Amino acid sequence: MASVRVLVIEDEAIIALDVADIVRNAGHEVVGIAATEKTAVELARKHSPHLVLADIQLRGADSGISAVNEIMGAMAVPVIFVTGFPERLLTGKRVEPAFVISKPFDPDLLRAAIAQALHTVSI
């Protein structure tokens, strides 16, 4: 598979670096790591990622869900939520994401979800 641009939205530095390492080791490019909604949206606009990996709860009152909603309003991009709070997504009240990985996560599971998400995207 061709190298793709991946945006990581995660406010915990150690987790963000771990996710970024997994992405890079899979042969993809990390276009940025965002710890806030504003930074996530700015990086997405600047780099047009092929994939977004997002946490739900960000620093302060920021929300990965809000950031993803804004990003998806501007571009069609698959999203994988990597979160300690999967119940906040799986409510049946809105369109639910195709990929939700609970923290702590298995790196092999994340790699498989990335491959699956990108399988349906033409780059």
Residues 29-76 pLDDT 10s: 999 999 999 999 999 999 999 999 999 999 888 999 899 999 999 998
Look up tokens 């940025």; give the residue: 32
State the chain's mean pLDDT as an integer: 88
Helix and strand tally (H, E) in the chain? Answer: 4, 5
97 pLDDT higher than 90: no
Percent of the chain with pLDDT over 90: 65
Q: What is the pTM of this model?
A: 0.90
Task: Look at residues 109, 114, 103 and name the one whose alpha carbon lies nearest to residue 16.
Answer: 103
Q: What domain range is 82 assigned to?
A: 5-119
CATH number at residue 22: 3.40.50.2300
**Alpha-carbon span 90 to 27, nearest angstrom:** 30
Q: How many structural domains comprise the chain? A: 1
**Partner residues linked to 83 by β-bridges:** 102
